[in-house]
Amino acid sequence: MVEPISRRSLLRTAAAGAAAVTTGATATATAAPATAGAGARVPAAVRELLEKIQAGMAAYRIPGVAYGLYHQGREYVGGFGVTDVAAPAPVDGDTVFRIASTTKTFTGTAVMRLTERGRIDLDRTVRAYLPGFRTATSPGVTVRQVLNHSAGWLGDVFTDTGSGDDTLAKYVAALETVPQLTPPGTVMAYNNAAIGLAGRLIEVTTGAVYERAMRSLVLDPLRLRGTAFTLDELAGATVAMPHGSDASGNPVSVPEALVIPRSLHAAGGLYSTARDQLRWARFHLGDGDPLLTRRSLRAMRWRPGPGGTLFVEVDGFGVTWMLRPTAEGPRVIQHGGDLPGQHSGFLLVPERGLALTVLTNSESGPALLAELFADDWALTRLAGLHNLPATPRPLTPAQLSGYEGRYVAEQIGSTGEQASITLDLVAAGGRLSGRVDGTEAMVLPFYRRDHVLVWAPDGTDAHTRADFVRDPDGSVGWLRFGGRLFRRTPPGPAALRTTANTPALLPVTLPHPARP
């Protein structure tokens, strides 16, 4: 994810599970599975996946979707729908989308190439390479902590520092005033700014601007010809336009949403195609050739930093990869990305030889992606794996009081302006009611200590998990939602409490029995 947590994205996340009340497909299928081999029989699980994608497009009014799948030794690449409702062209496996934060895994892979060459040591401090680097309280932060999202400073920093070749240098200099939220290496909090810093480390150690270094270190050696930081490099490509919606919920093309500041390129600036994303997945499922040794490739998935939640429970991040546990044991390697109107998912299961990427061109795309990449629908059918079990249980008012309060997340906008998003949590019916601007936006039932599911107000599963982070004294200090930290301010006497009746707790949708 590149885009910040906002009121809009909070409501979108909570409503994802209930969004299927809309009807009517926005587009028909325009591309069949590709590269499976002429006349090859498509397995039932693959057919189910493609049907699931098309059903989600209809339910959530998504104009276009491209997909790439590697399953049981075969590739499937294709697309459905249209690139732009205003000027429709068919989506296929070569249609260009913004992949947003999956770019981070490219940045991390470039750092690993430089690590192999002895140019960067993951366990040295950032200041060993950038002596002038300063943040509020992080002189000892290491390169590894930068890459595993435990650097500890505010992560949603979207300052636009221009379009020149010095944009990353200026961006990193501006981090000097960014507040430190937690000590380095202690808490996972999704950090766009830290990956921007990693981009600057690539520049300093190669002597080339970030985009040029990425092309020579990663893109060109892997022959990713449909992947670039600017559309000028992809002349003649068919591009999927971002879409919002009008007052009636109909998709509306918003081409200007494709533009992001150059300062964010390391964290989320790549354009790519489903075909190239599948090639990227196959590289990471392989032996490292031609970029890395097998050991270095696998080291990107070793030694995770602190764990927590990022829509699902995670063991932590390795070198930019989210490491997700399963009930059966095999680990899922995951990412994905979010920009306005461009949302995608990406996962690998090395022990099952599975890779899946799905790219959407709509603000409603996260509803489908939640079903495929946060819920375990796809993992179950394609790899026989499941999420860690989560059976909701009611808590007493006394138990819930330790979590009630106002939670505030901060961010810095493109011009350096500070902004915040506030979520009020109130005990109601054995769970927490999450309210934005006084209106219930979500329901948070607990399923184990400090861990909650996220439901829509009507109890529909949003396929999202969140957790609370405790301060050193043992009290709840933060809510981690969407990987971001919301600082808690406990309520005053009689504040925020409600006596409203709420529906009975509903069982979370899991395709397997809950386990201890």
Provide DSSP, 202-255. HHHHHSS-HHHHHIIIIITTTT-TT-BSSGGGGTT--BPPPEEE-TTS-EEE-G
500 belongs to a structural domain: no
Are 303 and 429 found together in one domain?
Answer: no
Domain membership flag for residue 510: no
Amino acid at 431: R
The verdict on 408 and 262 lying in the same domain is no
On whether the CB atoms of residues 33 and 50 are closer than 8 A, the answer is yes
Q: Do both 413 and 376 map to the same domain? A: no
Residue 333 placed within a domain: yes
Q: Is residue 191 included in any domain, yes or no?
A: yes
Residue 353 lies in a domain: yes
User: Both ends of the chain: CA-CA distance in Å?
Assistant: 32
Residue 429 is given by DSSP the state T
Within this chain, do residues 418 and 372 fall inside the same structural domain, yes or no?
no
CATH of the domain at 86: 3.40.710.10
DSSP secondary structure code for residue 372 in this structure: I
Half-sphere exposure in the Cβ direction for 235 (13 Å, CA): 1
Question: Are 363 and 474 in the same domain?
Answer: no
Angle between helices 103-116 and 192-206 in degrees, nearest 10: 40
Contact 344, 102 (CB under 8 A): yes
H/E element, 368: helix 365-369
- Tell whether 155 and 278 lie within a shared domain: yes
* Residue 285, domain extent: 43-383
Q: Are residues 346 and 423 in the same domain?
A: no
Q: Let me know if 90 is exposed, middle or buried by CB neighbors in 10 A (0-12, 13-18, 19+).
A: middle
Residue-by-residue pLDDT tens, the chain, 516 positions: 556 656 555 555 555 544 433 323 334 444 344 444 444 689 999 999 999 999 999 999 999 999 999 999 999 999 999 999 999 999 999 999 999 999 999 999 999 999 999 999 999 999 999 998 877 656 789 999 999 999 999 999 999 999 999 999 999 999 988 999 999 999 999 999 999 999 999 999 999 999 999 999 999 999 999 999 999 999 999 999 999 999 999 999 999 999 999 999 999 999 999 999 999 999 999 999 999 999 999 999 999 999 999 999 999 999 999 999 999 999 999 999 999 999 999 999 999 999 999 999 999 999 999 999 999 999 999 999 999 999 999 999 999 999 999 999 999 999 999 999 999 999 999 999 999 999 999 999 999 999 999 999 999 999 999 999 999 999 999 999 999 999 999 765 444 444 333 333 222 222 222 222
Half-sphere exposure in the Cβ direction for 386 (13 Å, CA): 12
Q: What is the DSSP letter of 434?
A: E
pLDDT digits (tens, 9 = 90+) for 165-183: 999 999 999 998 899 999 9
pLDDT recorded at residue 11: 52
Q: Are residues 300 and 433 in the same domain?
A: no
Q: Residue 404 CB: number of other CB atoms within 10 A?
A: 21
Residues 280 and 415 reside in one and the same domain: no
The CATH number that applies at residue 439 is: 2.40.128
Range 397-401, long-range pairs (CB < 8 A, 24+ positions): 397/427, 400/427, 400/430, 400/431, 400/432, 401/427
25-59, pLDDT tens digit by residue? 334 444 344 444 444 689 999 999 999 999 999 99
| Rounded CA separation 19/252 (Å) | 17
Both 310 and 227 in one domain: the answer is yes
For residues 73 and 199, membership in a common domain is answered with yes
Cβ within 8 Å of residue 273, ≥6 positions away? 66, 93, 94, 95, 96, 97, 226, 227
> Residue 303, Cβ neighbours under 10 Å: how many?
15
Q: Give the H or E element holding residue 324.
A: strand 322-324
Compute the distance between CA of residue 345 and CA of residue 368 in angstroms, rounded to an integer: 10
- 485, part of any domain: yes
Same domain assignment for residues 200 and 281: yes
- Tell me how many domains the chain contains: 2
The residue behind tokens 């031609």 is 290
- Does a structural domain hold residue 516? no
The angle formed by the CA atoms of residues 129, 131 and 137, to the nearest 5 degrees, is 110
Query: Would you state the structure tokens that stand for residue 148, as one six-digit string?
Result: 């595993």
pLDDT value, residue 41: 83
Q: Of the candidates 383, 412, 438, which is a domain's last residue?
A: 383
Domain boundary among 383, 409, 424: 383
Supply the pTM of this predicted model.
Answer: 0.91
| 388 domain residue, yes or no | no
DSSP 414: T
pLDDT reported for residue 502 = 33
